[in-house]
């Protein structure tokens, strides 16, 4: 008999609105597995952990993982179709009406809320139930540690998008259990730290022995460092970043372009510490970035078999690179079409004569699904976290320069100019982050966490988006109205009331 695997009783707050039965039916169930008789064996525990990772599937599929931030920042922008321009023009509302009307919730902040709380709920079941499973104790401890890490990651991802959020650390045995009030930022980060401490003590494996897509011990340190950076806990950020760097488990690839080549994915893992893993089969995990970034009409065979011309970089961002910077080659102002003819910039897209193509997610061979993974943590991130944290603590020290210069050297640039003031050095680090992580869903959060979005974004305009009316309330996205309506304990972000 085919069994339905029902790992959780409820999907968590993201699904609360759907839990409204009109009557109660008592019956003995023989064909399904519920929480009362699951989590008993090693196989159960492994499957439950996979379900916690599984929340990344809906987060990376849109991918809300990157597009929401990338369409809001000063580096990349969308063709204004299917509601994507609301993120660039800051015209979205708490109901995310435009995204719903265009069946694009998967590209909206609402998807972040739903995916992350689904992942948190599943992590809570693992943390609560797996300790009683009959299995190897060392592996049990690792599984629980990975669940702690993922719970911390989902809470952190929610916080950087919505600010104060509900912290959920117990399973929802009933509908009432799913209704949780918001915690302050301090409370959110206290829980993130506690979960990461648990993960660090779980005996997780290090690269290269860790399974593809799974979290290595040093990835826990990397998230700890970045979460601490966002929490302005500079000492903790520096401490954890140095653990990763000094471990020697990861190194920068010689050529930054190799990080993104579809046929060098495994070799790139020595730098690409953790990623949204894509499986180019059906069914499998995929994302839209390859198709969005290529030219319209599938015209550029080096980009993709199928592409739409829906995501570009600003000309001003392209111009900000030193011409010798190898990272600029991950952008392009022309492409070669199927006949071998070079298509000039003015003809890249009909929406502007200054379209700049993004080359980080090229996949010229796949016909079903896409090959390129989406980076979540790369080693350069850790170096630049260390550089910023050191500078905020001690100024532009020799140590701070030693953290930023390897990233610049790999890009083909000279060492950063010496003698910078503390503020000038931090600004240089933020600029370096912009050049290094464009189209990876990072820049918008650097602008919001530092308060620079209000001055930077109004200047990031072009003939497609000549005006961008960002306001203070856009530092965080509004909590989805569906969630407010479903949870009487939940309040909208103050600036969005």
Pair of tokens at residue 145: 């540690």
- What's residue 16's pLDDT? 38
- Is residue 335 predicted with pLDDT exceeding 60? yes
Contact 243, 196 (CB under 8 A): no
Q: Are 367 and 213 in contact (CB under 8 A)?
A: no
Q: What pLDDT is attached to residue 26? A: 55
Band of pLDDT at residue 367, cut at 50, 70 and 90: confident
DSSP 289-339: HHHHHSPGGG--TTTBSS----EEE-HHHHHHS-TT-GGGGGEES-EE-TT
E-only strand ranges, 26-159: 32-33, 76-78
pLDDT of residue 491: 96
% of the chain surpassing 90 pLDDT:
86
- Please tell me the predicted confidence (pLDDT) of residue 4: 28
Q: Tell me, what's the pLDDT at 7?
A: 32
Question: What pLDDT is recorded for position 8?
Answer: 34
Is a pLDDT exceeding 90 seen at residue 371?
A: no
The pLDDT tens digits for 207-249 are 999 999 999 999 999 999 999 999 999 999 999 999 999 999 9
For 257-296, how does the pLDDT look when each residue is reduced to its tens digit (9 = 90+)? 999 998 999 999 999 999 999 876 656 778 889 999 999 9
Average pLDDT over the chain, rounded to an integer:
92
| Residue that has been written with the tokens 């979960």 in this structure | 195
Structural tokens at position 32? 């399904």
Instruction: Name the pLDDT band for 158 (thresholds 50, 70, 90).
Output: very high
Give the model's pLDDT for residue 306. Answer: 93
pLDDT at 116 over 80: yes
Assess contact for 208 and 269: CB atoms under 8 A. yes
406-454 residue pLDDT tens = 999 999 999 999 999 999 999 999 999 999 999 999 999 999 999 999 9
Q: In the predicted model, what is the mean pLDDT of residues 120-136?
A: 97
Q: Say yes or no to pLDDT of 484 above 90.
A: yes
Of the two residues 357 and 27, the one the predictor is more confident about is 357
Bridge partner residues of 342 (DSSP): 336
CA dist 92 and 274 (Å) reads 31
pLDDT of residue 237: 98
Q: What percentage of the chain carries pLDDT values higher than 70?
A: 92
Q: 160 or 178: whose pLDDT is higher?
A: 160
Residue 30 has pLDDT above 80, yes or no: no
11 within 8 A of 484, measured Cβ to Cβ: no
Residue (of 387, 414, 372) closest to 288 by Cα position: 372
Cα–Cα distance for residue pair 260/370, rounded to 1 Å: 13
Q: Give the residue from 267, 244, 259, 272 showing the smallest Cα distance to 382.
A: 244
DSSP codes, 2-38: PPEE---SS--GGGGGG---SS------SSEE-TTT-
Lowest mean pLDDT among 1-10, 384-393, 399-408: 1-10
Banded pLDDT at 13 (limits 50, 70, 90):
very low
Task: Please give the pLDDT value at position 34.
Answer: 58
pTM of the model: 0.93
Compute the average pLDDT of residues 124-130: 97
pLDDT for position 366: 82
Which 3 state secondary structure label does DSSP give 497?
coil
């Amino acid at each position: 008999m085919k069994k339905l695997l029902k790992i959780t009783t409820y999907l968590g707050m993201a699904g609360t609105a759907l839990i409204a039965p009109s009557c109660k039916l008592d019956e003995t169930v023989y064909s399904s597995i519920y929480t009362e008789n699951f989590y008993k064996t090693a196989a159960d525990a492994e499957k439950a952990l996979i379900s916690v990772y599984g929340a990344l599937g809906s987060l990376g599929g849109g991918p809300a993982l990157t597009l929401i931030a990338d369409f809001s920042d000063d580096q990349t922008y969308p063709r204004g179709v299917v509601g994507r321009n609301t993120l660039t023009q800051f015209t979205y509302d708490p109901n995310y009406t435009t995204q719903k009307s265009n069946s694009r919730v998967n590209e909206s902040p609402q998807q972040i809320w739903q995916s992350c709380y689904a992942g948190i709920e599943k992590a809570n079941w693992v943390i609560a139930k797996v300790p009683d499973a009959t299995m190897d104790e060392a592996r049990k401890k690792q599984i629980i540690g990975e669940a702690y890490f993922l719970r911390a990651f989902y809470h952190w991802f929610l916080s950087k998008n919505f600010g104060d959020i509900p912290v959920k650390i117990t399973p929802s045995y009933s509908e009432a259990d799913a209704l949780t009030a918001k915690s302050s930022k301090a409370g959110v980060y206290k829980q993130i730290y506690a979960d990461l401490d648990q993960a660090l003590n779980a005996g997780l494996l290090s690269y290269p022995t860790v399974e593809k897509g799974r979290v290595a011990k040093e990835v826990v340190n990397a998230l700890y460092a970045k979460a601490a950076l966002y929490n302005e806990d500079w000492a903790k950020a520096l401490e954890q970043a140095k653990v990763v760097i000094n471990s020697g488990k990861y190194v920068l690839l010689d050529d930054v372009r190799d990080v993104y080549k579809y046929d060098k994915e495994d070799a790139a893992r020595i730098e690409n510490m953790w990623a949204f893993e894509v499986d180019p089969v059906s069914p499998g995990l995929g994302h839209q970035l390859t198709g969005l970034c290529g030219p319209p009409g599938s015209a550029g065979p080096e980009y993709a078999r199928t592409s739409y011309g829906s995501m570009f970089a600003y000309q001003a961002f392209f111009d900000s690179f030193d011409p010798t910077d190898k990272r600029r080659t991950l952008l392009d102002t022309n492409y070669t079409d199927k006949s071998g003819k070079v298509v000039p910039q003015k003809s890249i897209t009909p929406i502007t004569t200054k379209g700049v193509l993004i080359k980080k997610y090229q996949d010229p061979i796949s016909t079903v699904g896409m090959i390129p993974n989406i980076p979540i943590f790369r080693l350069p991130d850790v170096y630049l976290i260390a550089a910023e944290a050191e500078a905020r603590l001690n100024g532009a020290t020799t140590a701070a320069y030693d953290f930023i210069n390897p990233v610049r050297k790999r890009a083909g640039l000279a060492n950063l100019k010496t003698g910078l003031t503390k503020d000038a050095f931090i600004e240089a680090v933020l600029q370096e982050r912009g050049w290094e992580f464009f189209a990876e869903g990072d820049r918008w959060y650097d602008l919001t966490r530092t308060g620079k979005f209000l001055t930077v974004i109004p200047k990031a305009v072009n003939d497609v988006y000549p005006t961008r009316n960002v306001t203070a309330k856009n530092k965080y996205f509004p909590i989805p109205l569906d969630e407010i309506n479903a949870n009487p304990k939940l309040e909208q972000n103050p600036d969005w009331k």
